[in-house]
Amino acid sequence: MKHIDKVADMAAVSGRLASEEKSIGFVPTMGYLHEGHLALVEEARKENDIVIMSIFVNPAQFGPGEDFDSYPRDLERDAALAEKAGVDILFHPSPEEMYPQKSDIRIMPGKQADVLCGASRPGHFDGVLKVITKLFHLTRPERAYFGQKDAQQLAIIETFVRDYNFPVEIRRVPTVREKDGLAKSSRNVRLTPAERQEAPSIYEALRKGSRMLRETGDADRALKIVRDGLALIPGGKTDYAEILEYPSLRPLTAESQEAIVAAAVQFSGARLIDNILVAMDDKTC
């Protein structure tokens, strides 16, 4: 596995691969890898000649008082996992390398960023689109792989790529979960033992709400079930629980083909998000 930490080197390597007509699958991450990230690599490995993974904790998507400084980092561990999973090139630049000078140019994602996580994190998705634009230009992928756990981010990136004609296909990869249903996340290590026992209740509440939505199409009843279930988590405070059309993230209508049932819960040391996507013509449990 080749390590690259300079922007110019990454651009040169991807340019050479393009000239050789090698297909590139790209897996962007913020590191502290877990099975969810490795599932993205597995999918990329199936469809491409070369797999590039980036590890970059992006300061542009962290707001004041958020956990940028305390976000878990372990490059040596991550590199070993990436190589074992089949990554060909690991790109791990520093913030100074990615952002060598201040820029006042902003990419603003629009109304999709005003709900769910974006409602309480103004500017967060501006930072996501900023870094993903740079990473796409530097790695020149044919396909890029994103987990459905970060469903709002996925929806915004899909829309951005479509509307601005980026020459990259966005691949959705289902959420990877622990045996008890908890979505894999780099932040799970910051739960206390008691919180770790409580956290799977997030997914259970989402499952019950999703079942109601599939069976009845009644979003109000389904959302009440989700919120009632989250309220029973002793160590967690509900940040939001919503049901919206996906990927537009607008209110559901009779014409909506897909919905997202989503929630975020704040524990003492970690804020966890999770969601379930529901096909609105699927009436099975």
Sequence ranges of the domains in the chain: 2-173, 186-276
Please tell me whether 99 is known to bind a ligand: no
Q: Is 3 a catalytic residue?
A: no
pLDDT in tens, 89-104: 999 999 999 999 998 8
Average pLDDT for 233-257: 96
Cα–Cα distances (Å) from 146 to 109, 126, 205, 229, 271, in that order, read 18, 17, 24, 28, 20
Statement: residue 32 has pLDDT above 60 = yes
Please tell me whether 148 is known to bind a ligand: yes
Average pLDDT for 173-183: 96
What phi and psi, each to the nearest 5 degrees, are found at residue 123? 90, -10
| Measured distance CA(93)–CA(66) in Å, rounded | 21
- The pLDDT score that the predictor gives to residue 64 is 84
Please tell me whether 65 is known to bind a ligand: no
Statement: residue 176 has pLDDT above 50 = yes
Please tell me whether 54 is known to bind a ligand: no
- The pLDDT score that the predictor gives to residue 125 is 96
Average pLDDT for 260-281: 95
139, 12 Cβ separation under 8 angstroms: no
Statement: residue 48 has pLDDT above 70 = yes
| Measured distance CA(149)–CA(127) in Å, rounded | 18
Q: Percentage of the chain with pLDDT > 70?
A: 99
Give the predicted TM-score (pTM) of the model.
0.92
33, 39 Cβ separation under 8 angstroms: no
- Average pLDDT over the chain, rounded to whole? 95
Assigned superfamily of 186-276: Pantoate-beta-alanine ligase, C-terminal domain (3.30.1300.10)
pLDDT band of 42, cuts 50, 70, 90: very high
pLDDT in tens, 135-165: 999 999 999 999 999 999 999 999 999 999 9
Q: Is 274 left (phi over 0), alpha (psi -120 to 50) or beta?
A: beta
Can you tell me which residue has the tokens 């103004």? 122
- Please tell me which residue in 3, 37, 92, 137 is annotated as part of the active site: 37
245 bridge partner residues: 259
In degrees, rounded to 5, the angle at the alpha carbon of residue 128 between the alpha carbons of residues 248 and 159 is 25
| Measured distance CA(168)–CA(165) in Å, rounded | 8
pLDDT in tens, 11-25: 999 999 999 999 999
- The pLDDT score that the predictor gives to residue 283 is 46
- The pLDDT score that the predictor gives to residue 285 is 35
| Measured distance CA(125)–CA(110) in Å, rounded | 9
Report helix, strand and coil shares of the chain as percent, to nearest 5: 45, 20, 35
pLDDT band of 282, cuts 50, 70, 90: low
Fold of 2-173: Rossmann fold (3.40.50)
Q: Percentage of the chain with pLDDT > 90?
A: 92
